[in-house]
């Protein structure tokens, strides 16, 4: 029999600073605080609290008129509070996190590759996890005002940072989307997503599945608020 999913309440805050060194290069600093309380589950106890303090430095540069690169990274301090059925609270520890992306534009087509590793919320299957993902995307302008976006990638959620846990979830996913701007700031989008997910260790029985999702929607921007220069 599987474990129940977790409910979570999160309080977070951040401070971000961006500085343009030149017309083509910028530096950034992000300070992020996350305080999450999890309820439910069995292995980690009825209630557990996770605090994550993150400091990320980023560098973005346009290497040429068609190539843009962004790199970010920094330490994350993770502390878990609360008793579980298989262990006590985990002492605070530092985790190295980071990632980057590169975008190449070729006429009406843009290619993008992104990689990222960081500590994040477990999405109901676990409490906090080390999340690793890689995504490759192709975006192309079609006839008229239509644009097509194709993305594929792989992701992993690992609970090894909790020391007494052994859960892991691996997923492969793909997304195909069509977008078209409408009048008055509205945008029509149609997308199809497929996902294959496998899990090991302690988690709900429904953690391994194949999913296909079709989405049709209209996004509408009420008003743009200028912030000045």
> Domain segments of the chain: what residues?
6-220
**pLDDT of the residue at 87:** 47
- Supply the pTM of this predicted model: 0.76
Provide the token pair at 82: 């609360």
User: Dihedral of CA 226/227/228/229: which sign?
Assistant: negative
198: left (phi > 0), else alpha (psi -120 to 50), else beta?
A: beta
**pLDDT of the residue at 82:** 66
Q: Please write the tens of the pLDDT for every residue from 89-147.
A: 566 788 899 999 999 998 899 999 999 999 887 766 677 788 999 999 999 999 888 99
Residue 176: exposed, middle, or buried by beta-carbon count in 10 A (0-12, 13-18, 19+)?
A: middle
Q: What are the residue ranges in the chain where pLDDT is below 70?
A: 1-6, 40-47, 82-91, 123-125, 162-165, 202-207, 223-229
Q: Which CATH class is domain 6-220?
A: mainly beta
**Beta strand spans in the chain (E):** 6-20, 25-40, 47-64, 67-81, 90-106, 109-121, 128-141, 147-158, 168-181, 186-200, 209-220
What is the four-CA torsion angle of 179, 183, 186, 191, rounded to 10 degrees? -20
Residues pairing with 228 in the sheet: none
**pLDDT of the residue at 46:** 57
Contacts of 167 (CB under 8 A, 6+ apart): 125, 126, 157, 158, 159, 199, 200, 201, 202, 203
**pLDDT of the residue at 121:** 77
**pLDDT of the residue at 199:** 83
**pLDDT of the residue at 1:** 44
98 touches 115 (CB < 8 A):
no
């Amino acid at each position: 029999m599987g474990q129940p999913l977790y409910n979570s309440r999160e309080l977070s805050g951040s401070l971000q600073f961006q500085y343009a060194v030149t017309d083509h290069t910028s530096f950034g600093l992000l300070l992020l605080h996350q305080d999450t309380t999890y309820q439910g589950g069995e292995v980690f106890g009825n209630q557990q609290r996770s605090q994550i303090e993150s400091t990320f430095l980023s560098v973005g540069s346009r290497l040429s008129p068609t190539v843009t690169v962004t790199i970010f990274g920094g330490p994350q301090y993770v502390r878990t509070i609360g008793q579980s059925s298989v262990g006590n609270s985990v002492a605070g520890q530092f985790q190295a996190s980071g990632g980057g992306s590169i975008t190449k534009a070729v006429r009406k087509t843009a290619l993008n590759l992104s990689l990222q590793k960081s500590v994040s919320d477990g999405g109901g299957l676990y409490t906090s996890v080390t999340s690793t993902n890689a995504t490759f995307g192709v975006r192309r302008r079609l006839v008229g005002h239509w644009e097509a976006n194709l993305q594929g990638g792989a992701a992993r959620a690992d609970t090894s940072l909790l020391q007494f846990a052994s859960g892991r979830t691996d997923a492969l996913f793909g997304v195909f989307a069509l977008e078209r701007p409408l009048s008055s700031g509205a945008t029509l989008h149609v997308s199809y997503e497929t996902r294959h997910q496998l899990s090991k260790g302690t988690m709900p029985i429904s953690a391994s599945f194949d999913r296909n999702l079709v989405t049709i929607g209209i996004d509408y921007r009420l008003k743009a608020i200028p912030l000045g220069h």
